[in-house]
Amino acid sequence: MANPPASTRTEAFPVGLRVLVVDDDPTWLKILEKMLRKCSYEVTTCGLARVALEMLRERKDHFDIVISDVNMPDMDGFKLLEHVGLEMDLPVIMMSIDGETSRVMKGVQHGACDYLLKPVRMKELRNIWQHVYRKKMHEVKEIEGHYINEDIQIMKIGSDDFEDRHVSSGADINYVRKRKDVDNKEHSDQEFSDPATVKKARVVWSVDLHQKFVNAVNQIGFDKVGPKKILDLMNIPGLTRENVASHLQKYRLYLSRLQKQNEGRTSSGNLQSDFSSKDVAGNFDVLSSTQMQPSGVSSKFICTGQKIQAQGIIPDDHADDFKSSLSLQVTGSKQALVGDIPDSQGVISVSRLGILLPFKDMIPDAGKKSLEPAISRNQSWSGSIPVMQFMQHPRHDHECCCLIEAYSCLPKPDQEQVFDHFDTPPSVISNTCNTENDISGLLEFKLVHTNHRSSDTKTASQLSCMTDTTSAQVDSGSSNTQDYGVAFGIDGLTNIKDYYHTQTSSYLTPPSGELSLKNETDLVSSPEDLQFCSPQGIGSFENVGFNSMEIFQYDDSTSVTEVHSNWYDGLEFNSDYLYDSVDPVIDECLFA
């Protein structure tokens, strides 16, 4: 029986559930399609994992659930599984003729919500909707919990910081991990309780929105404030009183916590409340608010990310301070950006770096100040520093091109000079997340400007070089297993594009300082979805104490490339490092 078209999805859930089936076996594909159609689901089939991934990326909200075979020639099913889980956060069901415990276990480890054995029966497929439903339920709970728990840095910074910054300890990793992909759709809590609303619709408390909220609160007077009044003042269509109420609650908790924390906050890795915009905070379009200590902070940002959509979020507010520019547009799978900002004594102050916003003239103004997490891609490196050090997410291997770049914001004293001569070819930014010392750990790259126009492989190899070093560090037990410093040169970035097999998703936006909420949210949410190394692994940085690590995957994009061309001016790319498959190492670390 033919499936009702998408438009008739108003029928009772789970009718019309949109399933994507991926299997290289054409016979199975046909059978599964038929079975699913008979369940009244809307089916799309795909014989290639890569194509499937593309499809998912292009039409993000087009599917509710993915069913994939484990053994596929072009990509390992588990990899696909990871990607989907991270990037799209969709439930994935694995299938295989092989029912060995170890395989099933692997599936579960990689995040599969179910593992079916072939031959698959229709009755097994009938119930797959439960996975979609369950996820929605969890999302609601998480969002609720999230609101209550979190420490909204954004408030403190009063900045364009993104919605949720988990400033708190790395124990929040789970929390972070669970953070869902937040897009900027409105949502009401009630919607979630209705599973029929398969589409995600959530309120994303973006910088802008939050700013309006804060303004409204201030206008009303903090003591006289109430959700209704705020709602009216904010005048945002679609925003409900409940949204405001819960946000207000968070805000209150946040403020009270701020007061308590203010004294207690040390440089040991917590964001300071006195994160002034000057400190770049504003410029950070960071998932987590990284606090950068004003003086001599060595900030290391480790961005490992599958996708760093750093759309320069720095809105006008901080324009004065930083003339921030946006972004990194790194798109790809979601990954957390780990920002690690140690101060001059090696303290890390970033709990979580979401996106690094490029700071336009940051560095020079800030002097040694810290954070320059913002890496101004749009601009030449004259102001910015950071060495992008990407950490490679262990799970993603070359295919997914996870380049992990860690932005190191020249924290080191030695590097301070770097800032000064930004105009000259820089800088070695060494980031190593080694515990040995704040500097030794850092991978140093000299980004070579001219480097990479050459073949892809060259670049790739250069990139890989970096990573390898990191992995080596990992081996030696450095806490930062995930630090692969990869410094890209402009060209490098271009090549990264090739290097990364992933197709650029639509996440990339022109680096022109657009504020793209959607991307922000994507970015924001990504860390949570990432399962990264436990904080302990990372947290063992002596110098750097991050609370949570977010991994960004640097994806390529044309825009990035453009940016890079400006950005990497004068950067030398050091290709001393060899990139071997880091995966095993990382795997151990991460999945030990």
Partner 1 sequence: MEYSSLQRQVAYMKKGLFDQGYLDEQFDELEELQDEASPNFVEEVVTLFFRDSSRLMANIEQALERCPQDFRRLDSYMHQLKGSTSSIGALRVKNECTKFREYCDQEHLDGCQRSFQKVKREHAVLKQKLESYFQLLRQIGPTERATRSGS
Residues engaged in binding partner 1 (CB under 8 A):
1-2, 24-28, 30-31, 34-35, 37-38, 69, 71, 96-98, 118-119, 121-122
What's the CA gap between 209 and 396, in Å, rounded?
Answer: 34
Min dist CB 36 to partner 1, Å, is 11
Nearer to partner 1, 6 or 97 (CB): 97
Angle made by CA atoms 364, 370, 376, in degrees to the nearest 5? 55
Contact at 8 Å (CB) between 385 and 375? Answer: yes
Least distance to partner 1, CB of residue 2, Å: 6
Q: How far is the CB of 97 from partner 1 (least distance, A)?
A: 4
| Distance of closest approach, residue 119 Cβ to partner 1, in angstroms | 5
* Shortest Cβ 179–partner 1 spacing (Å): 36
Of 30 and 252, the one with the shorter C-beta distance to partner 1 is 30
CB of 230 to partner 1, least distance (A): 54
Contacts of residue 379, defined as CB under 8 A and 6 or more positions apart, other chains included, come to 325, 358, 360, 566, 567
β-bridge partners, 301: 339, 407
**Nearest distance from residue 117's CB to partner 1, in Å?**
9
Cβ at position 588, least distance to partner 1 in Å: 23
Distances (CA, A) of 176 to 165, 201, 337, 538: 9, 19, 12, 15
Task: Return the number of the residue (96 or 531) whose C-beta is nearest partner 1.
Answer: 96
Residue 27 or residue 101: which is nearer to partner 1 going by CB? 27
What three-state secondary structure class fits 290?
A: strand
Task: Mention every residue, 6+ apart, whose C-beta is less than 8 A from residue 108.
Answer: 115
List strand residue ranges (DSSP E) for 34-173, in order. Answer: 42-46, 65-69, 92-96, 114-117
Name the residue among 408, 435, 406 with its Cα closest to residue 541. Answer: 435
Cβ proximity to partner 1: between 71 and 437 the closer is 71
Judged by CB, which is closer to partner 1: 95, or 152? 95
CB burial of 253-276 (b: ≥16 within 10 Å; e: otherwise) equals: bbeebbeebeeebebebbbbbebb
CB nearer partner 1, residue 35 or residue 65 = 35
Rounded least distance, CB 312 to partner 1, Å? 46
Tokens of 83: 């990607």
Select 121 or 141, whichever has its Cβ closest to partner 1.
121
Provide the b/e sequence for 459-474 (b: ≥16 CB within 10 Å).
Answer: bbbbbbbbbbbbbbbb
Look-up of token digits 């957390």: 336
Supply the minimum distance, in Å, between the C-beta of residue 25 and partner 1: 5
DSSP track, 480-518: -TT-------HHHHHHHHHHS-SPP-TT---TTT---HH
Nearer to partner 1 among residue 70 and residue 366 (C-beta): 70
Contact 279, 369 (CB under 8 A): yes
Token duo for residue 548 = 């949570």
Cα angle, residue 433 at apex, residues 432 and 436 outer, rounded to 5°: 90
Which residue lies nearer to partner 1 by CB, 30 or 199?
30
Q: Which is closer to partner 1, CB of 44 or CB of 311?
A: 44
What is the nearest approach in angstroms of partner 1 to the Cβ of residue 586? 24
Residue 52 CB, nearest distance to partner 1 (Å)? 18
3-class SS shares of the chain: helix, strand, coil, % to 5 = 40, 10, 50
DSSP 335-397: --EEEE-B-TTS-B-BS-B--PPP-SSHHHHHTT-S------SSS-TTT--PBPEEPPPTT--
For residue 376, CA distances in Å to 47, 182, 285, 423, 569 come to: 40, 25, 12, 14, 12
| Closer of 26 and 584 to partner 1 (Cβ) | 26
Long-range contact pairs involving 208-212 (C-beta distance under 8 Å, separation at least 24): 208/315, 208/515, 208/517, 209/234, 209/236, 209/239, 210/154, 210/155, 210/163, 210/247, 211/160, 211/317, 212/236
Give the nearer residue to partner 1 in terms of CB position, either 119 or 477.
Answer: 119
Q: How far is CA 258 from CA 155, 250, 252, 418, 545, in A?
A: 9, 12, 10, 34, 20
User: Closest distance between partner 1 and the C-beta of residue 408, in Å?
Assistant: 41
